[in-house]
A and B are shown apart, each in its own frame.
Chain A
Amino acid sequence: MQRPFDPRAISRREALTLGGGALAAAAIAPQLCTRPAMADTPKRGGTLSLRLWDPPHFDPHLTISYKTHILYTFTHSRLLKHKAGPGVAPGTFPIEGDLAESWSQPSETTYVFKLKKGVRWHNKPPVNGRELTADDVKYTFERFVAEKGNANHYMLAALERVEAVDKYTVKVMLKEPYVWFLDVVSNPMALCILPREAVEKFGDLKKPEAVIGTGPWMLDNYRPNAGATFVRHPGYFQAGLPYIDRVEMTVDEDNASRMAAFVAGKYDLGWEAAGTINRVDWVQLKDTLKQKRPKLQTLEFAANQMSHIYMRTDKPPFSDVRVRRAISLAFNRQGLLDAVAEGVGVLNPAVPAAFKEWSLPVDQLGEGAQYYKFDPARAKKLLAEAGYPNGFPATVSYATYGSTIQVDAVQLVLKYLKDVGIDAKANQQEYGAYIATTFYGKYESMAFGPQTPFLDPDNFLYGPYAPGELKNQAHVNDPVLTDMLVRQRRTADVQKRREVLYEIQRHLAKQQYYVYAPSGVYIGVWDGALKNYAPNLGYDWGGRVTAAWLDR
């Protein structure tokens, strides 16, 4: 719910009232998504101040860093985009045209996009404000999959070829049906349309002068490690937009400094992911903010950042489903939320509860729902039935991710395992070593860590569960599940696809290949002067402020 400075959207008590922490997104949606009134008449002008991050460089095909991709949402357009604004419930991603005027799907594997006419690139050399054409789109697709070092290219693994049918028509052909294709095209992590001339002139797009797009703002200057300024693109193809003239981005890598700057009114949005403030800081600051910035707006929504316990399900003892269920029953999810998230959060099935359209509430998981309860006595019983009445030794590998929350969470997981007799020892790995080994399934016993916060259920399911996938960390090979995973990728009808996804989540709740930790609830915070804005998950900061205005 969007409210003028009400610090709690869901309190711990409310969360418990709504089902002991088993908060499904569907259940919280009515609370969280009261529409803010469309404020007044749009005003042109003003400067939006944000705390963002210093990008490693500016080539979106040569880094997966959110620091680069977020900046591109200000300067570049995509074929399609996620709708933004107060009318969109956080955790949902309705698609609308960006550069595409319309699109169609003549066959299961063919998509045709009709481009808007008169779209102009930023007036910077070597592109100099020329009109965008289908060749630019074709070029971008081809560079995306061909560029060595583009670690995101798996997102278009199904791509066969792209044709520029005429100046304003692009035809995309896939090797096999992949119903999430439009979601991928809309995702700010993937396909910002790029000009060929910039790549040819600069060799790649790493330099700031190569940041030339068709988006609402132009990169005016970049100050390494310090910040960047974006100015309004006068030739932006959406008439009248953007309303905001300048966007000032400050690099601020110190939390104390960020907090102080926010309290002093130097940032218009919360300083963390998606314009949020983490709950621990929020609890400390809310009274001060109430005095210093009484017009702040807040909106709470479930995070798509989800951690899980994973284990070698291809080997004993974890190949026994009773052991995996015992681990889930031993996991005090509410205890974890109490310890690291001020007691506020949501329980996750295999698809994060944040995705309202696709996630099944835990209490609707059928037989598998019982394993989300905290029941150490039953966990011990299941272990005994599996032949481990005295538990067994185990190792939990993890990386800290530089986060004290992660370290606290691991300590709790170890405690919960020990409480039921699993003698788990911590194996802390440096981040790079963790990613190179454990994250890719190269470990012996158990591990605990976060997943990438994707915006679609397919990425949360296919990689971790399909046999042969590098991200199949638990080494799952379940033919029934694999069939459903492939089926959901080929089911175009949304309702039917949702049913398949629900079935997958029910199946996985029973199997507990991965034991999912709860997610926190983000607190989106923004200055009261910023109108027609609403936060959402994902990198699309620029998209969310394109039609917003400042009423200082």
Chain B
Amino acid sequence: MKSYVLKRLLVAIPSLAIASIIVFTLPRLLPGDAVQLMVEEKAYGKDIDDLRAKLGLDRPIYVQYFAWLGNVARGNLGESLWTKRAVSEELARRLPVTLSLGVLAIFFALVMAIPIGILAAIRADTLRDYAARSVAILGLSVPGFWLATLVIILPAMWWGWTPILSFTEFSQDPAKYALQFVLPAAILGIASAAAIMRLTRAMLLEVLRQDYVRTAWSKGLSEGWVVLKHSLKNAVIPVVTILGIQLAQIFSGTVIIESIFGLPGMGRFLFDAILQRDYPVIQGINLLVVTVIVLMNLLVDMLYAVLDPRIRYS
């Protein structure tokens, strides 16, 4: 197991190196740069050149890349071109918000998806199954931002009520801090829930048709015991795999959901940074996200062994 983890970590290094080139290069391919946006329509030519030199953007791109990479290796993600604050400080402040939202979204996704998936599987081709699958397709089809907009607008129009839209720090009021994530996390979790539910249903159906399950039935075990004890554990391995993939989807969802619900997290920070061409911030966030996703996928792979003791790593 240890050697497997070590091998995976070593393999992650070139992945991260390639990712670093991509996250460094892509924002620079966008037309316009931070300096042009900073001075907008009022600058004179000299201001632009001065500012570009001041921010180090006048150097060749490969020089900028290696300088940045060297700093990253020393744990320094650089500083925002706009605020001059350290990117790592900015991320440290925003990461908990995004993590809270993401973790709660996954929690909601699982809480919604697994029971409905089980129900749909054990009542396959019944009205309940059709209803569950229809809801799942709806969940996959409805964009989160549209749902979020409706959730905010309609209660305001009907009852003059809105969900919490101004952010409360954990230190100010822990209960309110947690409460403000409930609605955005539920909305964010819906699309993932739909995908997980469909997969849970499909995998459970497959497992339920296997011989050992038939044996369990013939032994006279209860439905709950057969499904939850003997079938579900084997069915959820692919679900755990998709959960790793869903992490990336959930993060991309935070970009819009955080803006709609006024949550000062990393997604919104990334959105603003892209608009402002704040390269160090874009690079820092993307590198962090890539790292987290690589590590989470490693964790998912390791979970297989926990779920299925027959799986061995060598």
List of B residues within 8 angstroms of A149 by Cβ? 38-39, 47, 50-51, 54
Contact A206 B84 (CB under 8 A): yes
* A471 on interface, CB distance cutoff 8 Å: yes
- Tell me how far the C-beta of B94 lies from the nearest C-beta in chain A, rounded to whole angstroms: 8
List of A residues within 8 angstroms of B37 by Cβ? 431-432, 435
* B165 on interface, CB distance cutoff 8 Å: yes
- Tell me how far the C-beta of A230 lies from the nearest C-beta in chain B, rounded to whole angstroms: 15
* B107 on interface, CB distance cutoff 8 Å: no
Interface residues of B in 223-252 (CB under 8 A from A): none
Contact A151 B39 (CB under 8 A): yes
* B24 on interface, CB distance cutoff 8 Å: no
- Tell me how far the C-beta of B149 lies from the nearest C-beta in chain A, rounded to whole angstroms: 4
Contact A225 B269 (CB under 8 A): yes
Contact A435 B32 (CB under 8 A): yes
Contact A254 B51 (CB under 8 A): no
Q: Spot the interface stretch: B155-163, B199-207, B213-221.
A: B155-163
Most interface-central of B40, B90, B166 (chain A CB within 10 A): B166
Contact A154 B44 (CB under 8 A): yes
* B279 on interface, CB distance cutoff 8 Å: no
* In the bound complex, CA of A251 to CA of B31 (Å): 27
* In the bound complex, CA of A447 to CA of B40 (Å): 17
Contact A226:B259 (CB < 8 A) given known A56-B276, A263-B160, A433-B32: no
* A44 on interface, CB distance cutoff 8 Å: no
List of A residues within 8 angstroms of B58 by Cβ? none
List of A residues within 8 angstroms of B44 by Cβ? 151, 154, 470
* In the bound complex, CA of A366 to CA of B106 (Å): 68
Contact B167 A261 (CB under 8 A): no
List of B residues within 8 angstroms of A54 by Cβ? 272
* B42 on interface, CB distance cutoff 8 Å: yes
- Tell me how far the C-beta of B251 lies from the nearest C-beta in chain A, rounded to whole angstroms: 17
Contact B42 A154 (CB under 8 A): yes
Contact A264:B41 (CB < 8 A) given known A224-B93, A227-B166: no
Contact A470 B45 (CB under 8 A): yes
Contact A264 B161 (CB under 8 A): yes
* A429 on interface, CB distance cutoff 8 Å: yes
Within the complex, which residue of A251, A259, A452 is in contact with B41, where a contact is CB–CB below 8 Å?
A: A452
Contact A257 B50 (CB under 8 A): no
List of A residues within 8 angstroms of B156 by Cβ? 259-261, 263-264
Contact A430 B166 (CB under 8 A): no
Contact A251 B262 (CB under 8 A): yes
* B122 on interface, CB distance cutoff 8 Å: no
* In the bound complex, CA of A279 to CA of B94 (Å): 35
Interface residues of A in 311-327 (CB under 8 A from B): none
Contact A430:B264 (CB < 8 A) given known A227-B167, A261-B165, A452-B41: no
* B83 on interface, CB distance cutoff 8 Å: yes
* A412 on interface, CB distance cutoff 8 Å: no
Contact A432 B32 (CB under 8 A): yes
Contact A260 B165 (CB under 8 A): yes
The closest CB in chain B to the CB of A250 belongs to: B166
Contact A56:B83 (CB < 8 A) given known A151-B40, A430-B32, A431-B32: yes
- Tell me how far the C-beta of B81 lies from the nearest C-beta in chain A, rounded to whole angstroms: 10
* B57 on interface, CB distance cutoff 8 Å: no
List of A residues within 8 angstroms of B152 by Cβ? 254, 256-257, 260
- Tell me how far the C-beta of A55 lies from the nearest C-beta in chain B, rounded to whole angstroms: 9
Contact B41 A471 (CB under 8 A): yes
List of A residues within 8 angstroms of B100 by Cβ? none
Within the complex, which residue of B32, B260, B262 is in contact with A250, where a contact is CB–CB below 8 Å?
A: B262
Contact A252:B32 (CB < 8 A) given known A149-B51, A257-B261: no
- Tell me how far the C-beta of A343 lies from the nearest C-beta in chain B, rounded to whole angstroms: 25
Give how many B residues have a beta carbon under 8 Å from the other chain's beta carbons: 49
- Tell me how far the C-beta of B279 lies from the nearest C-beta in chain A, rounded to whole angstroms: 13
* In the bound complex, CA of A56 to CA of B93 (Å): 16
* B153 on interface, CB distance cutoff 8 Å: yes
Contact B51 A435 (CB under 8 A): no
The closest CB in chain A to the CB of B277 belongs to: A432
* In the bound complex, CA of A473 to CA of B157 (Å): 45
Interface residues of A in 300-335 (CB under 8 A from B): none
Contact A257:B262 (CB < 8 A) given known A206-B83, A432-B37, A452-B41: yes
Interface residues of A in 113-155 (CB under 8 A from B): 148-152, 154
* B82 on interface, CB distance cutoff 8 Å: yes
List of B residues within 8 angstroms of A87 by Cβ? none
What sequence of 0s and 1s flags, for each residue 201-230 of chain A, a beta carbon within 8 Å of any chain B beta carbon?
000101000000000000000011111000
List of B residues within 8 angstroms of A430 by Cβ? 30-32
List of A residues within 8 angstroms of B155 by Cβ? 260
* A64 on interface, CB distance cutoff 8 Å: yes
Within the complex, which residue of B36, B45, B149, B268 is in contact with A256, where a contact is CB–CB below 8 Å?
A: B149
The closest CB in chain B to the CB of A262 belongs to: B156
- Tell me how far the C-beta of B200 lies from the nearest C-beta in chain A, rounded to whole angstroms: 33
* In the bound complex, CA of A242 to CA of B41 (Å): 35
* A92 on interface, CB distance cutoff 8 Å: no
List of B residues within 8 angstroms of A225 by Cβ? 94, 167, 264, 268-269, 272
The closest CB in chain B to the CB of A253 belongs to: B259
* In the bound complex, CA of A214 to CA of B272 (Å): 31
Contact A63 B38 (CB under 8 A): yes
* B99 on interface, CB distance cutoff 8 Å: no
* B301 on interface, CB distance cutoff 8 Å: no
Interface residues of B in 128-156 (CB under 8 A from A): 148-149, 152-153, 155-156
* In the bound complex, CA of A332 to CA of B85 (Å): 49
Within the complex, which residue of B54, B83, B149, B165 is in contact with A252, where a contact is CB–CB below 8 Å?
A: B165
* A496 on interface, CB distance cutoff 8 Å: no
* B169 on interface, CB distance cutoff 8 Å: yes
- Tell me how far the C-beta of B146 lies from the nearest C-beta in chain A, rounded to whole angstroms: 10
Other A-B pairs, 12, CB within 8 Å; known A224-B264, A250-B166, A432-B36: A57-B84, A63-B82, A64-B40, A151-B39, A252-B262, A259-B156, A260-B152, A260-B156, A431-B32, A432-B30, A433-B31, A452-B41
7 interchain residue pairs of minimum CB distance: A432-B32, A225-B264, A260-B156, A433-B31, A226-B167, A151-B39, A256-B149
29 A-B contact pairs sorted by A residue (CB < 8 Å)? A56-B82, A57-B84, A148-B47, A149-B50, A151-B44, A151-B47, A154-B42, A154-B44, A224-B90, A227-B167, A250-B165, A250-B166, A250-B262, A252-B166, A254-B149, A260-B152, A260-B155, A263-B160, A264-B160, A265-B160, A266-B166, A431-B32, A432-B31, A434-B32, A435-B32, A435-B36, A435-B41, A452-B42, A470-B44
